[in-house]
Amino acid sequence: MSHEAIGMLTTIAIATIGCLYFIRIDWKRYGLLYLISALAANLLCYTFTYLGFYSFPNNILHKGFLTPFGLVSTVFPLLTMFGVRFSPDSWSWKIPFYWALVHLGVLGEVILKQTIIFKFEPEWDLWDSYTLWWIYYLLFELLGGKIVPSKHRKPISSDAFRYGKWGWIVLHVIVISTIFLAGVYVGVTIFK
């Protein structure tokens, strides 16, 4: 078994455990959120692949399928449920929270792009992905607020994002390191 296949299986297994963690909190509401998120993610991924924006030339675990539905059906819903469960109450702190979440998602996409599994076509680039990640998660934040009642959410305290607190530190480590890595990626891509 290749390193890519082991990496995909490991990611799917960890994301599945994470999804089950959230679903067990309230299986009806988080389960519904999971289903809608998985369906939307797979539909978007299939559409963009079908239109030729990107491709999965070596779809190792999902031979015969256009997209890696196992990966898409676990990772996107996990991040969706994580966002709905823990996003701060105030929009002034939701935006930085999702900023970090989007950066982690795009980082994962860049890592996947470096394997034989995933390939951007000329019509698609990281800016397209970045924009779509924002739209996807902010729409699910709004939808999740309608599906999951506040008693089943645990918003991170706004105080945690104040200077020097743990949320501030985590946010800055994620955002600054991913922006630095994006700069390295652009430099390597340009000078290739």
For residue range 137-191, list pLDDT tens digits in order: 999 999 999 999 999 999 999 999 999 999 999 999 999 999 998 888 778 777 7
Residue 76 has pLDDT above 70, yes or no: yes
pLDDT recorded at residue 8: 84
Q: Tell whether the model's pLDDT for residue 10 goes beyond 80.
A: yes
Specify the higher pLDDT residue, 24 or 125.
Answer: 24
Among the residues of 1-125, which ranges form H helices?
3-25, 29-50, 69-86, 91-113
Determine the Cα–Cα distance for residues 34 and 75; give it in Å rounded to an integer.
10
Instruction: Tell me the per-residue pLDDT of 119-149, one tens digit each, with 9 for 90 and over.
Output: 888 888 888 889 999 999 999 999 999 999 9
Mean pLDDT, residues 46-75 = 82
